[in-house]
Each structure stands twice: as structure tokens, then as C-alpha cells.
Amino acid sequence: MVHVAFYRNYGKTFKKPRRPYEKERLDAELKLVGEYGLRCKRELWRVQYALSRIRNAARMLLTLDEKNPRRIFEGEALLRRMNRYGLLDESQNKLDYVLALTVENFLERRLQTIVFKAGMAKSIHHARVLIRQKHIRL
């Protein structure tokens, strides 16, 4: 009997850039990787992919009529989710605010960044070490 757990398909978590050697993109990525202490660019691509999926959903909902029940239901669900993630405030209850989200908003919510900004670590890289060595846990 074949064990089913080996055949799971988790889906795509990131999308590689279309042009691998684009100077402006490489510089921008390197700046973000250094600023937020990411280990590799794949971590950044994962955040960009998640943001693009959220923005596409918001864009699709904005094309629907305001009275459309699907837009109301899914739009409120999307806004609640962004609220729960800490990306939007309670007062920001429109889909336009979802379109204004940036990669930096997501990277600010990472535990590594929060530990560094709270002053518990000497550097952003030190914060990653503390989390990895289980000195800081959720």
C-alpha cells in the first residue's frame, strides 16, 4: 500500500523574476535583503508573491459592482485578514488601502524585524540568530 503523504502538492510559494539580471531590480532586492536581514532572495520573492496574490484579489473585487454580494462578502473577509495580520488598521476599511500595501509592510511584521526594532538584538542579523537559537519564541 502506497503512503499518501508523499504525494502532497503544496502549491507555489514564490515566483522567480522574469529577467534574472535586471540592474534596478537587483539593487532594490539587495537593499531590502540587507535592511530586513533576509537569508536569501527567495524569502523576498515569497513575500512579493503573497502581496501580488492579495492585490490581485483586491483588484478583482474592485471591478465588481459595489452592491454585489460577492464583493461585499469577500472584500470584508480580505480586509479582516489584513487587519488580523496587522497590515491595516481598523479605520482602513476600504479595498483601496489593500492596493496601497507594499513589500515593506509585510517585512515589518516579521518576528526578526520586530525583535530588532524592540532593541532586543544588536543587529538585524543578531535578531535572526536569537530566534534560531530559541532565545526568543512566540
Give tens-digit pLDDT for 10-29. Answer: 888 999 999 999 999 999 99
- Nearest Cα neighbor of 110 from 92, 131, 95, 90 is 131
Task: Name every residue whose Cβ is closer than 8 Å to that of residue 36 and which is 6 or more positions away in sequence.
Answer: 107, 110, 112, 113, 124
DSSP state of 101: -
Confidence of residue 55 (pLDDT cuts 50, 70, 90): very high
CA dihedral in degrees (29, 34, 36, 42; nearest 10)? Answer: 50
Joined grid coordinates for residue 1: 500500500
Contact 78/61 with Cβ under 8 angstroms? Answer: yes
Convert the pLDDT of each residue in 96-138 to its tens digit: 999 999 999 999 999 999 999 999 999 999 999 999 999 998 8
Q: Name the pTM for this structure.
A: 0.87
The values of phi and psi at residue 74, to 5°, are: -70, -35
Question: Which cell numbers in the block locate residue 68?
Answer: 454585489
